[in-house]
């Protein structure tokens, strides 16, 4: 089938849309996401003066005078809205900074710089940070045992939606709220618990790839090889405490994630 210009555009940013088109289907974005994407495509992502002015007002940054910088900002925003998960408000599971850069045709340093500007602007935030102020340098950056940074998990704020104006932005805000309510009703898990699951899945996948020649280092295998359930619980608890999750979760949430991870490692629920 022949794709519309809009459909052709979303296949550039979203792998699922590209696959659907390749299979002869009709690619689309969820309605709330689609309205914001269309706005960014038509008007750019730098039309809401009060939000953009936060960079100059609070950080002394005036970086969008050049057209290419404005274009790059819009491109990253279009990628984010095309890939953000409504249930978790995060786009981190759909691409690293390098993958985002490749998709939109810039270098990774440009994407990294723009994400930091978005944090200062208050339109995204690190999901996990020891800092009280997520706009500080390297907020939320965590490394593996060799000090190599692991992928950060970013959360899309309501003000990101409002970069597309009140009408389109409100539709995406409502889509986030509806998806969150449905996910919590279905699973009983809060947004924080869902984000921790996303983070752990990404981090452990990254760690496993980095140590693929040392298979005994795989966390899941270490837990699965524990001599008994109590030992497995201790291993999981140590990992969660090392990451500060005992401070982020209530007792019932902490227990629920431990049991979820026990089950994923082969122990009975």
Per-residue pLDDT reduced to its tens digit, 36-87: 999 999 999 999 999 999 999 999 999 999 999 999 999 999 999 999 999 9
pTM over 0.85: no
For the chain, the domains span 5-187, 211-264
Q: Which contiguous run of DSSP H or E holds residue 168?
A: helix 165-187
With H, G, I as helix, E, B as strand and everything else as coil, classify residue 44: coil
DSSP-derived secondary structure letter, 155: E
pLDDT at position 209 is: 53
Joined together, the tokens standing for residue 265 give 């490692």
> What residues does 154 pair with on adjacent strands?
126
- Using 50 as the pLDDT threshold, list the residues of the chain that sit under it: 131-136, 139-140, 144, 148, 210-217
Q: Which contiguous run of DSSP H or E holds residue 34?
A: helix 31-43
């Amino acid at each position: 089938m022949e794709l519309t210009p809009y459909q052709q555009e979303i296949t550039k940013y979203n792998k699922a849309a590209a696959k659907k088109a390749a299979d002869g289907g009709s690619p689309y974005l969820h309605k709330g996401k689609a309205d914001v994407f269309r706005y960014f495509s038509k008007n750019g992502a730098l039309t809401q003066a009060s939000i953009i002015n936060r960079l100059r007002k609070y950080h002394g940054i005036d970086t969008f005078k050049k057209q290419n910088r404005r274009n790059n900002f819009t491109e990253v925003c279009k990628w984010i809205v095309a890939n953000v998960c409504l249930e978790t408000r995060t786009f981190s599971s759909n691409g690293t900074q390098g993958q985002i850069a490749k998709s939109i045709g810039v270098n990774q340093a440009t994407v990294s710089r723009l994400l930091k500007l978005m944090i200062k602007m208050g339109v995204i935030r690190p999901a996990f940070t020891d800092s009280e102020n997520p706009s500080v340098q390297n907020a939320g950056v965590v490394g593996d045992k060799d000090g190599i940074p692991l992928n950060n998990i970013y959360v899309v704020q309501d003000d990101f939606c409002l970069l597309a104006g009140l009408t389109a932005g409100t539709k995406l805000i409502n889509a986030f709220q509806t998806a969150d309510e449905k996910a919590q009703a279905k699973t009983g898990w809060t947004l924080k618990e869902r984000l921790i699951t996303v983070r752990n899945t990404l981090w452990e996948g990254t760690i496993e790839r980095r140590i693929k020649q040392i298979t005994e280092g795989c966390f899941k295998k270490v837990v699965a090889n524990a001599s008994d359930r109590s030992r497995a619980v201790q291993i999981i608890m140590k990992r969660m405490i090392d990451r500060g999750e005992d401070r982020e979760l209530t007792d019932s949430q902490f227990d629920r994630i431990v049991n979820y991870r026990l089950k994923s490692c082969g122990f009975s629920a």
